Amino acid sequence: MSDSFSGLVSPLAQFGLIYVSGTDTLTFLQGQTTIDVNQLATDKCLLGAFCNPKGRVVASFMATSWADGVMLVLPADNVSGTLAHLKKYAAFFKTQLVDASKRWHLLGTDSPVPTSEAISASPQWDDNRHITFLNPLADDYETALEACLANKQAVDEHQWMALDIQMGIAWIDQQAAGEHTPHHLNLQWNNGINFKKGCYTGQEVVSRMQFKAKLKSIAYALQCGQPMKPAQAIYNREGKAVGTVINAANEWALGVVHIKELPGGLFADAEAHLPVTPVSLPYQDAIKATLEKQASDN
Identity of the residue numbered 216: K
Containing structural domain, residue 16: 2-166
Which is it for strands 129-134 and 105-109: parallel, antiparallel or unpaired?
antiparallel
Which is it for strands 153-154 and 96-99: parallel, antiparallel or unpaired?
unpaired
Question: Do 180 and 104 fall within a single domain?
Answer: no
Question: Do 292 and 184 fall within a single domain?
Answer: yes
What is the C-alpha to C-alpha distance for residues 245 and 269, in angstroms, rounded to an integer?
Answer: 12
Going from the C-alpha of 64 to that of each of 37, 38, 41, 201, 217, the distances in angstroms are 9, 11, 6, 20, 29
Per-residue pLDDT, 298: 66
* pLDDT for 2 beyond 80: no
CATH number for the domain that contains residue 199: 2.40.30.160
Give the domain-ending residue among 166, 194, 212. 166
Start-to-end Cα distance in the chain: 35
- Buried-exposed string 59-81: b where 16+ CB fall within 10 A, e elsewhere: bbbbbbbbeebbbbbbbbebbeb
pLDDT tens across 131-168, in order?
999 999 999 999 999 999 999 999 999 999 999 999 99
pLDDT tens across 212-247, in order?
889 999 999 999 989 999 999 999 999 999 999 999
List helix spans (H) across 1-64.
25-30
The model's pTM is 0.96
Q: How many domains does the chain have?
A: 2
CATH number for the domain that contains residue 95: 3.30.1360.120
